[in-house]
A and B are shown apart, each in its own frame.
Chain A
Amino acid sequence: MPIIRVDDLTFRYNGLDVISNITFSVEKGTYLGIVGPNGSGKSTLIKCILGILQPEQGRVELFGKPLDRFRHWAKIGYLPQRLNALNTHFPGTVEEIVQMGLPKKDAATLRRTLETMAIGHLASRLIGELSYGEQQRAMLARALMRRPQLLIFDEPTTALDPETREIFYALTKTLNHREGTTIILITHDIGIIGQYAQNLLYLDKKVIFSGTFKDFCSSGDMTGLFGPKSQHIICHQHDQSGACG
């Protein structure tokens, strides 16, 4: 049973298609990379999957349940692209935000998660006082805190320094390999996708490519889209990283 099944999904804004007739599925334990140019509908697709946006047509199933009947939201960890214009006066501490929505507050898990993201020393600081990079790390910690079965990251590392970025990607790989956590990563950086993801969804308002990296590397259509050199680099990075699962 796929963890996510999307069937013929279309979302319009002001009468224009943002995404149209999207169909794909994600199996348990997959590391899926979603790529596409700006405005290709990557974030919109995720928001439709999570019920944040209501699509014009189509069907979404999460863990085998239609979206409107899905209740086990603790199975999903989501990190949005940008917090909606984070109010810098918001008086919540990092600790309060990382534990947001958790039925049980577990001090040991909290400390461990904060340390993993190198923000243990910021636990009692107000989120609005932190730099954007620190805020992003706090939000990553929040997504990881629930130990979800499905993690969705929308451009997660844009504000992170290279070292934390590496730690983050290594962590996603560990979660995927050791704990079988399904990961969906949206990024502009196709090189990163090549290093970590097993599957690729290339989106430009509709699905341009959906399949494994092996299929991607042997696809003549993708050579036409990316150019032979870029495609070779991406596939080489993928082979080197051993992300084949």
Chain B
Amino acid sequence: MNLLDILSYEFVQRAMVAGMLIAAVSALLGLFLVLRRFSLIGDGLAHTTFGSVAVVLLIGISPLYVTLAALPLVMASSLAIYKLTSSRKINADSAIGIISSLGIASGIILASLSGGFNVDLFSYLFGNILTVNNTELLLSFIVFLIVVVVVFYFYDDLFAVTFDQELAQSMGIKTRRINVILFLLTAIAAVLAMKVAGIMLVSALLILPALTALQLAVSFRTTMIAAVVFSIVAVVCGIIFAFLLNLPAGAMIVLFNICFLFLVFVAKKLSHLRR
């Protein structure tokens, strides 16, 4: 089977488009999160997504709308992480840990109580981009547009807040508003990324492209563009190879992201040695 044959399938086309959109969103937000030492927020929100999906399945919402229905709870969890972190008494990693354990514990208890949807719930742990439906494709497109517009419109503010929050405040930037926007968008990205990589690997989509791009950084803008490019290429390669080798797409995408990071890291080391 050649590449054109693979791309002729409608579900593959849908997976490619949704995957690329989610990859771009995750990479854009991931750079700000990594630089602000919120790398593990993806993990925390993914675990919350697990609990939220359990709630949604328990209520009996159609699997077609699970992603959409899980959003409010995950967004609330994201704001809870922000609120805990802002209290100055709880570090970012601890705040993520609290919300993360709450999410996973609620999911397990709800799954155990219901007794009926364990299989459905646990299928979200590993995700499957090839099963992306039209609602999720549309949601990915809308979120992509929102994130691009927000990053473009608030670029200066995001840059300043990421560099130094107190300095940004002294410049009159409404840092609270910027933080709330960033955390809400991250929650949406985490729910969408669950479809691509599964709950277990959501944080990889947020962290790895940003880390790879940071190895090659020459300016903030180029780093942002590089992160998006690495992320999209990893999704495209991951989906194609997953299809060809009959392996899980989410894991393949993450492996490609890790390969890119490793290659860039080695290339950078070699170029330093040659100097």
Contact = CB atoms under 8 A, between A and B. Distances in A.
Interface stretch (A44-52, A106-114, A163-171, A199-207): A44-52
Interface in B37-67: 37
B252 to A, nearest CB: 28
Interface in A95-135: 96-97, 100-101, 124, 126
Contact of A89 (B35, B156, B166, B173): B35
Given A84-B164, A90-B35, A100-B160, A50 B169 contact: yes
Interface residues of A, number: 25
A97 B219 CA distance: 10
B220 A96 contact: yes
Interface string A57-101: 000000000000001011010101001101101111100110011
Nearest to A127: B163
A93 B219 CA distance: 6
Nearest to A76: B170
Contacts, number: 70
Contacts of B221: 96
Contacts of B219: 91-93, 96, 124, 126
Contact of A73 (B164, B172, B220, B223): B172
A75 to B, nearest CB: 10
Nearest to A83: B164
Contacts of B162: 90
Nearest to B167: A80
A126 B218 contact: yes
A78 B167 contact: yes
B122 interface: no
Given A50-B170, A78-B170, A101-B171, A86 B164 contact: yes
A52 B217 contact: no
Contact of A92 (B37, B163, B165, B169): B163
Most chain A beta carbons < 10 A, residue from B162, B167, B172: B167
Most chain B beta carbons < 10 A, residue from A73, A74, A83, A90: A90
A90 B223 CA distance: 10
Contacts of A83: 164, 167
Contacts of B172: 71, 73-74
A52 B168 CA distance: 9
A50 B213 CA distance: 35
B170 A73 contact: yes
Most chain A beta carbons < 10 A, residue from B159, B170, B172: B170
B40 to A, nearest CB: 16
A91 B217 contact: yes
A101 B35 CA distance: 19
Contacts of A52: 166, 169-170
Contacts of A84: 164-166
- Nearest 8 A/B pairs, CB to CB: A73-B172, A91-B217, A91-B223, A78-B170, A50-B170, A101-B171, A92-B220, A52-B169
Interface of B: 35, 37, 156, 159-160, 162-173, 213-214, 217-221, 223
Given A91-B220, A101-B156, A124-B218, 17 more contacts: A73-B171, A73-B172, A78-B170, A78-B171, A84-B166, A86-B164, A90-B163, A91-B213, A91-B214, A91-B217, A91-B218, A93-B219, A93-B220, A96-B220, A97-B163, A124-B219, A126-B217
13 contacts: A50-B169, A52-B169, A52-B170, A73-B171, A78-B167, A89-B217, A90-B35, A91-B213, A92-B220, A93-B219, A100-B159, A101-B171, A124-B219
